[in-house]
Amino acid sequence: MGQETLAVDLRDVVVRFGDFTAVRNMNLQVGEAEFVAVVGPTGCGKSTILNAVTGLLKPAAGDVLIFGKPLVGLNEQSGYMLQQEGLLPWKTAEDNVGLGLVFQGAPVADAREKARVWLAKVGLKGFEARYPHQLSGGQRKRVAMAQTLILEPKIVLMDEPFSALDVHTRRLMHRILLDLWQADRRSLVFITHDLDEAITLADRVVVMSAGPGSRMVGDVAITLPRPRDVSSLQTTDAFIALYRQIWSLLGAEVEKSYATQD
C-alpha cells in the first residue's frame, strides 16, 4: 500500500471571530476516498470547518494541510455544496450544471454536453431545459450536486445539503449520493446534524462538542458493509448499535447546547 497521504489534515485548528472562539483545537483527518460525516449540535462551528478547508477562512492557529501541503489561498482541489439554494434562476438545469466548466473557460457547447451526462447521473434526464423554478426542491438539490461534482474535485465538501428536504426525498438523495460515490470514490466531508444520515452515508462519523470553542469529542468508524441499501439499513442491529454508541457522545453535547441557549 505504501504511505497514504491524507486528503485533508486539520491540526489543532483554532478559529476565532473577534473575541469569540468558534472552534478550538480541531483535529480532523480525512483519507483519500474516505467519506467522513461531521455531526454536532447547532452552532458548534461545523460549517466553520468546511470554510477552513476551502480556504475561505484563515484559522487563527493550527495547520490546514491538503494532500500533505499547507493550504495557501483558496483550495483548488475542493468542491463545495452549500446548504441553501445557489442555482442561477436565469439558467436552465444543464447550464447551471455546466456553469463551473464555463467559468473555467470551456466552450458552452462542451459544457452542456458534459452537463447532460451529469444530469442523467443524478436521475434528471429529460429535465435539461427546465429552469430552477420549474423543478422540485429535491430536483434542484440534484442539479446542485451535479454542479459541484462535474468539476471532479478531489475533495467534496457538503454542508447539510439535504437538511431542507422531506424524509423520502432525503433518502432518495442519499441513494444517489452513495451510488455516485461508490462509482468514483473521492474524499468527502459531509456536515449534518442528523445522525441517521451520518451513519447511513459515512465511513467515519466525527462528533463535535457544543460551541463556543467546540472541539472533537468522538470519532467512530462505521463498519457497515458497502454498498449500502439506504432503505433497509436503518433497521439493522448493527446500525442501531452504532446509533446508540454515537448518540451517547452527541446527546450530551446537544443537551449542553440547549443549556447555553437559554
Partner 1 sequence: MRRKTKVLTTQVAIIVGLLVLWEAGVRASVIDPFFFPAPSTIVARIVEWMATADFWTDLGITLLETILSFVIGIAIGTILGIWLGLTPFAADVFQPFIKVFNAIPRILLGPIFVIWFGLGLASKVALGVTLVLFVAFFNTFQGVREVNPVVLANARLLRASKSSLLRHVYLPSATTWILSSLRVSVGMAVMGAVVAEYLGSSAGLGHLIAQAEGVLDATGVFSGIIVLSVFVVALDAIVDRIEKRLLVWRPAQAHEA
Which CB atom, from 135 or from 205, has the smaller least distance to partner 1? 135
Binding residue (CB under 8 A) for partner 1 from 18, 19, 133, 167: 133
Query: What does residue 62 show for φ and ψ, rounded to 5 degrees?
Result: 95, 175
Continuous H helices in the chain:
46-54, 93-97, 99-103, 108-121, 137-149, 167-183, 195-201, 230-233, 237-261
What lies within 8 Å, CB to CB, of 155 at 6+ separation is 7, 8, 30, 53, 66, 75, 77, 78, 79, 186, 187, 188, 189
Task: Based on the shown chain and the rule CB under 8 A, indicate whether residue 161 belongs to the binding site for partner 1.
Answer: no
State in angstroms the smallest separation of the CB of 247 from partner 1: 32
Q: How far is the CB of 115 from partner 1 (least distance, A)?
A: 13
Tell which positions 78-117 bind partner 1, by CB under 8 A: 79-80, 82, 84-92, 99-100, 102-104
Tally of helices (H runs) and strands (E runs) in the chain: 9, 10
- Closest among 42, 9, 98 to 214, alpha carbons compared: 42
Segment near partner 1 (CB under 8 A); pick from 127-135, 176-184, 207-215, 227-235:
127-135
With contacts defined by CB under 8 A, how many residues of the chain interact with partner 1? Answer: 26
* CA torsion through residues 209, 226, 31, 17, sign: negative
Q: Which is nearer to partner 1, 18 or 105 (CB)?
A: 105
Question: Is the peptide bond preceding residue 227 cis, with omega within 30 degrees of 0?
Answer: yes
Least distance CB 72 / partner 1 (angstroms): 16
Measured from the CB atom, the residue of 67 and 131 that comes closer to partner 1 is 131
Toward partner 1, which CB reaches closer, 43 or 86?
86
CB of 82 to partner 1, least distance (A): 6
| Residue from 27, 120, 131, 251 binding partner 1 (CB under 8 A) | 131
The footprint of partner 1 on residues 31-70 (CB under 8 A) is: 54
Q: Which residues pair with 156 in a beta bridge?
A: 79, 188
Residue among 33 and 151 whose Cβ is closer to partner 1: 151
Q: How far is CA 249 from CA 74, 217, 254, 255, 260, in A?
A: 33, 7, 9, 11, 18
User: Interface residues for partner 1 in 163-192 (CB under 8 A)?
Assistant: none
Minimum CB separation of residue 57 from partner 1 in Å reads: 13
Give the separation between CA 111 and CA 128, rounded to whole angstroms.
12
Query: Is the CB of 156 or the CB of 195 nearer to partner 1?
Result: 156
Q: What secondary structure does DSSP assign to 182-195, as a single string?
A: HHS--EEEEEES-H
- Closest approach, Cβ 189 to partner 1, in A, equals 14
Indicate the residue among 148 and 187 with the shorter CB distance to partner 1.
148
Residue 205 — φ and ψ, nearest 5°? -115, 125
The footprint of partner 1 (CB under 8 A) covers 54, 74, 79-80, 82, 84-92, 99-100, 102-104, 131-133, 144, 147-148, 151
